[in-house]
Amino acid sequence: MKKIHTLMIMVTSTINLNVKLQFATHLLLRLLLHMPRFTCKCFSFVWNRTTTRNTNNTLGLPQTFSLSAPLPQWPQGQGFASGIVSLGEIEVCEITGFEFVWSSSDRIDIRKSVAFYKPVGIPDGFRVLGHYCQPCYKPLRGFVLVAREAEASKSENTEIRDSDELPALRNPLDYTLVWCSNAGDKEVSNGSGYFWIPLPPKGYKALGYLVTNKPEKPHLDEISCVRADLTDICEPYRAMFDASSVIPEIPFQVWSLRPSDRGMWGKGVSVGTFFCSSYWIKGEELPIACLKNLNSMLPAMPQLQQIHALIEHYGPTVFFHPEEVYLPSSVEWFFSNGALLYRKGATMGEAIDATGSSLPVGGTNDGEFWIDMPNDDRREFVKRGDLKSAKLYAHVKPALGGTFTDIAMWVFCPFNGPSTLKLGIMSMPFSKVGEHVGDWEHFTLRISNFTGELWSIYFSQHSGGKWVDAQDLEYVDGNKAIVYSSRNGHASFPHAGTYIQGSSKLGIGIRNDATRSNLYVDSSSQYEVVAAEYLGDAVTEPQWLQFMREWGPKIVYDSKTELDKIINALPLGLRSSFENLVKKLPVELYGEEGPTGPKEKNNWIGDERW
């Protein structure tokens, strides 16, 4: 009883008297009845009831986002940018038009709030697979896929299991109410959210949820389930909403979804829907799935002429720091200016021709070979790179089961400069720590194969990185985004600023400074397509790309000596605290393996690290 009394007191500070009594009574009943694990959670905590925020589709909603320049007419070729993608037995269409259903934004910080939408403008014959969710503070931009059964679904290029002639799509048998935002009080039901999961027929999977603002079950024909062999496993990867941020006793969360099978050859297709639950535990199988692309021809992927059009339209401008000393160059310039190939056990390096034809190809990074700078007076000259020759090396590959295209843009810098240590308000440059030969960094454009629209860019940052949506990018010319390359380390960032590799919360780590200058490379014109495996022999890969060893020798830093100098310069009372902070620094501080080339990176074939 003491616990119940505490809960009632908490409610009195936020909710009017009538609702307060309903809420407390509701909690009391649930505590007494010991509600089963998987039943619906409905709480009357009054989201979107009042006029402080709007409860309809005409007021208080985020603006939609569109790229600053119209899309060009892409060159014709197969199914790219045709609006429909064939996955084998089913065809899917990308829907980006939505009608508002419900939002959690009435009583909580808008940056913690989400809104739910139903897709509209669905072409004839296509069926809804689920609704859409996104944060309230962002411009409205997203997609869900709708599906129809293909007329020629059993082509020779389609992998088909024995399905006993079951149709690809079927209506659900029923719905289960997963959660609702109140106790069903009719007085407030128009401002309430009801979350329904379809109950699929045997042999079928649900791919999303329906959200309504009324307690009545949706009609069975409002959503379709997909035959299980046409689906794949998906996983939650980003929590978007937690009801406990309003009232801790409400266990309900909403997550973004992504296919588990990702990467260049992954067949998982994102449907654009979300996952929600009151009791999900990490590692448990989800009650919904994503789609699987069983069309091995990948007909929606761009042809070579279309690839060039995409890069010329979207190619970002890469800005280097105004104090950057170690600039990029082309690989050919690096080889032509004295780079040497070393063999294990040999004391002298061998010259490398401009195309890299003398490099050993294939195999693995076994430590038998590596590349190094010239060992004469050209060394310092080569370290500084050559901006005029620099270009971006493009690797084009399928993403999300061939419904998107990833264009990974690799930049080569002959040398990575020393790091700067940041400790709170103090910044202390190292003399050697962080240096290495042969620096490969990249960013990746993700483009919709339904329309050819830029969707997001991945910014690689040392051992990790992050995806940034198109609406959160900066643009310099039409739809060409800006990429900021950090001083000395060449990590990529979407905005100018100072970034910490380490603990941002404590302000301890390696400092990355990025800003605009007159030192830049325009990747829309200074690029070379070096690989597109799905096109077969349409792209000839350069010889140097097949070098699977390290592009620089291994370096072990005497970072302890440099750190000891800093520690000894501090007052005695601060030294112990400083030594504890040093233990939190990135491991890269203590040594660098020679970096491998692009093809040896795990994200060459696999997905980006996100």
Q: What is residue 3's predicted lDDT score, i.e. its pLDDT?
A: 39
Residue in 269, 252, 248 with CA at minimum distance from that of residue 180: 252
pLDDT of residue 593: 63
Helix (H) or strand (E) segment spanning residue 483: strand 480-485
423, 506 contact by CB (below 8 A):
no
Of 534, 530, 535, 532, the C-alpha closest to 546 is 530
Q: Where are the domains of the chain?
A: 2-35, 84-292, 304-600
Structure tokens given for 326: 């170690």
pTM exceeds cut of 0.85: yes
Helix 17-33 and helix 2-12, axial crossing angle in degrees, nearest 10: 150
Over pLDDT 70: what percentage of the chain?
80
Q: What is the pLDDT of residue 568?
A: 73
In this predicted structure, the answer to whether residue 431 has a pLDDT above a threshold of 80 is no
pLDDT of residue 67: 96
The pLDDT of residue 347 is above 50: yes
Q: Among candidates 462, 470, 517, which has minimal Cα distance to 322?
A: 517
Percentage of the chain exceeding pLDDT 90: 66
Burial class (CB in 10 A: 0-12, 13-18, 19+), 121: exposed
The residue among 195, 28, 33, 221 whose CA lies nearest residue 116 is: 195
Q: Lowest mean pLDDT of 40-54, 263-277, 492-506, name the range.
A: 40-54
The single residue listed with the structure tokens 């959690």 is: 104
Whole-number pLDDT of residue 577: 63
**Higher confidence at residue 244 or residue 92?**
92
For residue 244, the model assigns a pLDDT of 80
- pLDDT bucket at 34, cuts 50 / 70 / 90: very low
Q: Check whether 127 has a pLDDT greater than 70.
A: yes
pLDDT given for residue 574 in this prediction: 61
In this predicted structure, which of 386-390, 421-425, 588-592 has the lowest mean pLDDT?
Answer: 588-592
Q: Tens of pLDDT along 440-491?
A: 999 999 999 999 999 999 999 977 899 999 999 999 999 999 999 999 999 9
pLDDT tens for 286-297 read: 999 999 999 999
Asked if 45 contacts 62 with a C-beta cutoff of 8 angstroms, the reply is: no
Token couple for 80: 């790219």
- pLDDT for position 95: 98
CB 276 within 8 A of CB 50: no
In this predicted structure, the answer to whether residue 532 has a pLDDT above a threshold of 60 is yes
* pLDDT value at residue 41: 46
pLDDT at 189 > cutoff 60: no
Instruction: Tell the burial category of 461 from Cβ atoms under 10 Å away from its Cβ (0-12, 13-18, 19+).
Output: buried
Q: Judge contact between 493 and 473, C-beta under 8 A.
A: no
